Every structure is written in C-alpha cells, then in structure tokens.
Amino acid sequence: MQLRNYFAAVSYFPFEKGLFLKAGGGISELTQTTTVFSEQKDKFSGFGYMICIGYDLRIVKRLHIGIHADYSRQTYNSSDAPDDTDFTNIYIALYFY
C-alpha cells in the first residue's frame, strides 16, 4: 500500500518563533498492490487535509531544528476504495534557509 499527498500548507507562528501551527490540503492518491497468483494494482484518488503542531529552535543564524507532529486524513472518490485513510507522523526536521 502506498499513499501520496500533494498538499499546499501554511504555517502560523503565534509568538513569531518557536511554536507553530500548520494546516493544508490537496490531492491524495492511494495505490494498493496485491500479489497472490499475479500482481494486481488498484489506484484511487481523492482529497485530504493535514494539521500540524511543532516547535522550531534556531541553532545558528540560518540553521533550525524542529520537532513536528502531523495528522493527515484522506477520502477517496471510488466506491471500491476504502472510505478514508489517516496517519500521524512525528519527526525531527532540519532547516537551512
């Protein structure tokens, strides 16, 4: 099973640095591959959204490290597809800008 999200998102820093909130949405695509006697691929498309909370800490002038927690949910247009899918990611991010 493979899930791909093509989202646009905006981030909001309520205190100008550190804590942030992020939200976005866009197109989602789910590919299911079944291999029993032969390989069968089913592809479903739909829409999804994501929300995130995190904290970014500046290490040096242009280098930041952050911890993020994202939640994403997807719905699909086909009656053969699952009703919806969702997942949560918690990860550390490194930014240079």
| pLDDT attached to residue 17 | 86
| pLDDT attached to residue 61 | 87
Computed from CA positions of residues 88, 89, 95, 97, in that sequence, does the dihedral angle turn out positive or negative? negative
d(CA 9, CA 7): 6
β-strands 39-60, 63-76 pairing = antiparallel
Which residues of the chain are under the pLDDT cut of 70? Answer: none
d(CA 69, CA 53): 6
Asked whether the beta carbons of 50 and 23 are under 8 A apart, the reply is yes
| pLDDT attached to residue 47 | 97
Asked whether the beta carbons of 58 and 17 are under 8 A apart, the reply is yes
Query: What's the predicted TM-score (pTM) here?
Result: 0.82
